[in-house]
Amino acid sequence: MENELHEECGVFGVFNVEDAANITYYGLHTLQHRGQEGCGIVAADGNNFSNHKGEGLVTEIFNEKNLVSLPGRCAIGHVRYSTSGGGGIKNVQPFVFRHHTGTFALAHNGNLVNSRELSKYLEDRGSLFQSTSDSEILAHLIKKEKDEDARLYNIISALNMIEGAFAFLILTANRLYVARDKYGLRPVSIGKLNGGFVVSSETSALDTVGATFVCDVNPGEIITLSNAGITSTDYSKFKHNYLCAMEYIYFSRPDSDLEGCNVHAFRKESGKLLFEESPADADIVIGVPDSSLSAAIGYAEASGYPYELGLVKNKYIGRTFIQPSQTMREKGVRMKLSAVRSIVNGKRVVLIDDSLVRGTTSKRIVSLLKEAGARQVHVRIASPPITNPCFYGVDTSTYDELMSAHKNVEQVCELIDADSLAFLSQKALFRAGNRTELCLACFNGKYPTALYHSLTEANKDGKF
Ligand code: SF4
């Protein structure tokens, strides 16, 4: 599945390591797939905070010159894809908040489901917001109580007022706090580096900077990193492990481990289970690059059919690439994916895709393969049909745009012109990750958190 699902963000932090901003740059670069619209770094050198951010890719926004202007042994960084709150530089994180009790910076990944209610509550009490980001809400909640000596308790009290999916990084002059939502929806991990600490949305970025994995932050936990080391506090007694299934299926890099399970291994196992549940008579197995390749390898291994490279992706299409017009497309100009004619010509192909959202991409790929001579195309999706929107920071579209929300499998198969179509079961996702809990709300409508009226109404109107 390509360009139909978007994660909201990725966060990375460094505590007490030389060149913290540089390390954060490399960490954010590894997390770039989680958000390409904007990025930023805030560094702290004792009491001085400096920051740089902009709209664009990490390599477009940062260079040696501006990284030098971010001195200090502590830093937090953020890559953003905007969903709720919209785009624009004012919403690019991290945010710096100056207050007489001390400056602090904030970055987060995820989405609060009660942000409208909280901003109204805060505005009624005199708060003025500069952005529409959930981070600003948390900052105002932290500062609502003017208790200078109990910052951790202020943060805990603020965390207990917010509801939704989040991994928050809060950097002060001498501490880095890392908090994860009590449902465990968004991942965040801690590593060790040169006597200090590194924090990341995904473990692959810990590996990139040479850090050693220490632990995942648990649901409902706040980790404090300070010169005294690492301490853990539970801010909530309610705890679940409803990690977003899409992290395994699509978002995270295959070299990341999520709660002890490698993402590539999960996807490969899901492909194996997909064959067990929905075998197809075929000659070859191919996957949609890049996120479906691991599942395709699993399906091929289980079926005994050869795994082939039937589709090639052009990796160099950036944000500013001029997309082919309708006329150019009619002339056969296709930039993102190409079918390998010599591989698929005359073959019965099993096409593995990780998910199906609006169905337009699947239809395009099936037609690409048939034009390249594929005799049959049997589509197998390594996740269940998406029937509900996500309110936790993933842009899965509104009800109206989700093909499986309104059509059954046979109807979808016909619409995408496939010879057959099957989806992986929800049960198989638990088996693939050897887990008992996962968020599957976009597949079954069972949202782990409370949902607020304003949120669901906004989705119906296509505003969310
Ligand atoms: S609803 Fe779907 S995309 Fe959203 S957090 Fe749950 S599993 Fe992930």
Please state which of the ranges 276-290, 319-333, 354-368, 379-393 shows the lowest mean pLDDT.
319-333
Cβ 278 vs Cβ 380: under 8 Å: yes
> 442 catalytic, yes or no?
no
Please state which of the ranges 115-119, 284-288, 302-306 shows the lowest mean pLDDT.
115-119
pLDDT at 81: 82
Among candidate residues 45, 42, 111, 105, the one with its CA nearest the CA of residue 77: 42
pLDDT at 142: 87
Residues forming CATH 3.60.20.10 domain(s) in the chain: 6-240
| Local confidence band at 464 (pLDDT 50, 70, 90 cut-offs) | very low
- DSSP secondary structure letters along 118-165: HHHHHHHTT---SS--HHHHHHHHHHHS--TT-HHHHHHHHHTT--EE
For the CA atoms of the chain, what is the radius of gyration?
23
What is d(CA 158, CA 142) in angstroms, rounded to the nearest whole number? 5
pLDDT at 177: 97
pLDDT at 135: 83
386 Cβ below 6 A of ligand 1: no
Across residues 386-399, what is the average pLDDT? Answer: 85
Please state which of the ranges 299-303, 369-373, 395-399 shows the lowest mean pLDDT.
395-399
Alpha helices in 176-330 (DSSP H): 203-208, 245-246, 263-277, 293-303, 326-330
- Percent of the chain residues past pLDDT 70, beyond the cut: 89
**What's the mean per-residue pLDDT of the chain?**
90
pLDDT at 315: 75
pLDDT at 7 over 90: no
Structural fold of domain 6-240? Glutamine Phosphoribosylpyrophosphate, subunit 1, domain 1 (3.60.20)
Distance from the CA of 43 to the center of ligand 1, in angstroms? Answer: 32
pLDDT at 410 over 70: yes
- Could you tell me which residue, 168 or 147, shows the higher pLDDT? 168
Cβ 80 vs Cβ 8: under 8 Å: yes
Distance from the CA of 409 to the center of ligand 1, in angstroms? Answer: 21
CATH classification (class only), 267-313+335-460 = alpha beta
Distance from the CA of 394 to the center of ligand 1, in angstroms? Answer: 7
Rounded to 5°, the CA angle 242-243-247 comes to: 150
Q: How many residues does the chain have?
A: 464
| Local confidence band at 104 (pLDDT 50, 70, 90 cut-offs) | very high
pLDDT at 298 over 50: yes
> Given the structure tokens 């109990």, which residue do they identify?
150
| Local confidence band at 463 (pLDDT 50, 70, 90 cut-offs) | very low
Return the ligand 1 atom nearest residue 448 CA: 6
What is d(CA 292, CA 352) in angstroms, rounded to the nearest whole number? 6
Residue whose CB lies within 8 A of the most ligand 1 atoms, among 392, 398, 402, 443, for a mutation test: 392
190 Cβ below 6 A of ligand 1: no
Residues forming CATH 3.40.50.2020 domain(s) in the chain: 267-313+335-460
1 Cβ below 6 A of ligand 1: no
Among candidate residues 284, 288, 406, 447, the one with its CA nearest the CA of residue 352: 288
